Amino acid sequence: MSQITKDYKDTINNRLKQDPAFAAALFDEAVSLFLNGEPSTARIILRELVKATVGFEKLAIETERPTKSLHRMLSAGGNPTMNNLTSIINVLRQNLNLNIKVHTFPAISNLS
């Protein structure tokens, strides 16, 4: 029996490789999630970005960290230091040819 559906990770991986705008949007989402207190989801997105773009071997060379450690850091339960996370984000940013610009704005309260 043939498989009718594809694994969503394969679909995302292929799109990340072929669509720079999609990769930029996912990178933006990961950074936003991290800054807004959702590090687990941010790490998972960063992991998929690394796999589809830079690759863990190249990331290891550029961050001077072991590949296994990077895999652990970017797992759902990972706990990278700020220095490691900054290095990972910087390598992705450079490889995706992106800059980061952060905007803050007042939160809207739903307690009215």
**What pLDDT is attached to residue 112?**
54
The CA distance from 71 to 100, in Å, is 24
- pTM recorded for the entire structure: 0.84
Q: What is the pLDDT along the chain (112 residues), one digit of tens a residue?
A: 566 777 777 888 888 888 999 999 999 999 999 999 999 999 999 999 999 999 999 999 999 999 999 999 999 889 999 999 999 999 999 999 999 998 888 888 766 5
Contact 60, 67 (CB under 8 A): yes
**What pLDDT is attached to residue 1?**
55
The CA distance from 83 to 69, in Å, is 14
**What pLDDT is attached to residue 15?**
85
CA atoms within 13 A on the CB side of 81: 6
The CA distance from 13 to 49, in Å, is 8
Residue 97 has φ and ψ, to the nearest 5°, of 55, 55
CA atoms within 13 A on the CB side of 91: 24
**What pLDDT is attached to residue 82?**
94
